[in-house]
Amino acid sequence: MPITKKLDVEMAMLAAKPARGNRPWQFLGPAAVLFLLLQPLAAAAQSWNWRAETVAPSGQQTSIAVDADGNLHISYVDDVNQIVRYAFRPAGSTRWFTMDLGGTKGNTETYTKIVLDRDGNPHICYTPTVLRYAYWDAKEWHDSQLSSDAGMPHIQHSCSVAIASDGTPYVSWYQIAFPNEGHFKLAELKDRVWTLRTMDFSPQTGKFHSLAIDPQGNPIISYDAYVDGELRCARYRDGKWTTATVDSRAWGKTGDYDVGMGNAVAFNKDGQPMISYYTDHSLKLATFDGTRWKLETIDSVNPTGSWMGTRSSLVLDSKGFPHVSYDDGGLVKHAYWDGAQWRVQVVVPAGAQKHTFSSMAIGPDDTLYILYRDPSDGSLMLATGRLGSKAASASAQGQQHH
C-alpha cells in the first residue's frame, strides 16, 4: 500500500506495512538532502519541462529505477568516500534514505546497476574489482560476491542485472582475461546454484552491455564487440542462445570505427527489442521488426573518447514512444519520438567535469527521471521531466523512426 503523504516520511517508513512486505528502506537512516526547485532546464519552447534536485554531495556511475507506486530507487558510487550506495525516495517526498553497500577497493571504474523485481524489490550489481550482487527479499538485504579475488583486479566496466518473471536472477559482467583483451559473462541462479557462461569469446566484447528480460521471460543482451567494430545482440529462445550482428563498421559509409558503445536494450509495444547505442559521431537506435534490424540516427554527438563518456538509457512511454537519455561530450541530452519525428533537448549543460554518468527511468505516470553527476561540482543530481505544452521543441536531424 502506498505510504501516505500526510505523515512524516521517516515515521511512515517505520510504521507502514505495505501489502508487498517490508521494504528495504524501512531500515535506512535519512540522508541530508538539499532539495532545489530550479527553473526548467529545457527551453520554454520544448514540450518536456525539467527541474532538478540535489541527491548527494558526490556521485557517479548512476543507475535508477521506479516502482509501480512511483517510488524511486537508485544505486551509485560515492567517489569521494569510495563507497557504493543504495538510496530510496518515496513518491511525493523530497527526502532520500540511503545505505552503504560496500567499498570500491580503490577501483575508479567501479560500475553499478539497479533493477526491480515484480514486487518492487531492488537488485543491484556492482564491481569493486570483483563482482557483487545485492538484493532485498522483502525481509532483509543479501550481498554476496560472485567472482574470485584471485589474480589481478579483473572485473571492470559494465555489469547488469535482470530478474525474470518467475524470480530467476541473471547477472552479467565484463571480465578482463588478459592485458588488452577480455570478454563478458552471464550468471543464472537456479536451485540456489549459479551457472556461469562466457557469452562471446571475441576479444574485448561486452565492455558496454545491457541485460533485460523479454516479454516471454527470456534474457536478452545487447553488447559491443570493440575489436570487430560491431553491435551484437544475444537472445535466449527455444532453449538455446543465438547471436546476431545488429550494426557493424564494415557496413557503414561514414568512416566510424567504434560501433555499439554505451548501449541499452528495451522492448517496444510489439514486444520486439530496441537498442540505443553510440558510434564515433552518432547516437543511433536499432529496432528489430521480427525479421531484421532497422537502424536510424537520432543525433550527432561528440563523445569524450573514454568509455565513461558514452552512456545511453532507453525507455518507452505509455504510448510506446521511445525516450533516450545520453551523454554528449559533457552535456546530458534527452531525445524522444513525438509520433512524427525525433526531438532533442539539452537537459544539463556542460561544465568543468566532462563525464556525467547519466541514467534514466520512467514512472507509471510517464514522468521521466534522469540521474547524473553535476558537471560543475560533481554532486549527484536528479532531473525530473514532465510533459508540458505542445510548443515546438528542437529536433535532431536524422532518419525518421519506424
Give 68-82 pLDDT, tens digit per residue.
Answer: 999 999 999 999 999
CB count in 10 Å sphere of residue 103? 14
Question: For residue 290, what are the CA distances in angstroms to 198, 266, 287?
Answer: 26, 15, 9
CB count in 10 Å sphere of residue 33? 18
CATH homologous superfamily, domain 9-387? Fucose-specific lectin (2.120.10.70)
Task: Tell me the pLDDT tens digit for each residue of 292-310.
Answer: 999 999 999 998 877 788 9
Q: What is the mean pLDDT of residues 237-254?
A: 91
How far, in Å, CA of 261 to CA of 319, rounded? 27
The answer to whether residues 111 and 123 touch, using CB atoms and an 8 Å cutoff, is no
What DSSP assignment string belongs to 127-143? -SBS-EEEEE-SS-EEE
Q: What is the mean pLDDT of residues 243-252?
A: 93
Task: Tell me the pLDDT tens digit for each residue of 161-209.
Answer: 999 999 999 999 988 766 556 888 999 998 889 999 999 989 889 999 9
Q: What is the mean pLDDT of residues 18-42?
A: 42
Q: What is the mean pLDDT of residues 252-260?
A: 84
Q: Please report the pLDDT score of residue 212 as a whole number.
A: 97
391: pLDDT strictly greater than 60: no
Q: Please report the pLDDT score of residue 178 as a whole number.
A: 60
Name the more confident of 29 and 95.
Answer: 95
**Beta-sheet strand order (sheet of 380-387):** 48-56, 380-387, 368-373, 359-362
What DSSP assignment string belongs to 191-209? TTEEEEEES--STTEEEEE
215: pLDDT strictly greater than 90: yes
45: pLDDT strictly greater than 50: no
Percent of the chain past pLDDT 90, that is, above it, reads: 69
Lowest mean pLDDT across 12-16, 40-44, 368-372: 12-16
Task: Tell me the pLDDT tens digit for each residue of 322-374.
Answer: 999 999 999 999 999 999 999 999 999 999 989 999 999 999 999 999 999 99
Query: Cα torsion at 321, 269, 327, 235 (round to 10°)?
Result: -160
Q: Where are the domains positioned within the chain?
A: 9-387
Fill in the amino acid letter for 232.
Answer: R
Lowest mean pLDDT across 20-24, 111-115, 134-138, 345-349: 20-24
Classify burial at 29, counting beta carbons within 10 Å of its beta carbon; exposed 0-12, middle 13-18, buried 19 or more: exposed
Q: What is the mean pLDDT of the chain?
A: 84
Q: Please report the pLDDT score of residue 173 as a whole number.
A: 92
| pTM of the shown model | 0.86
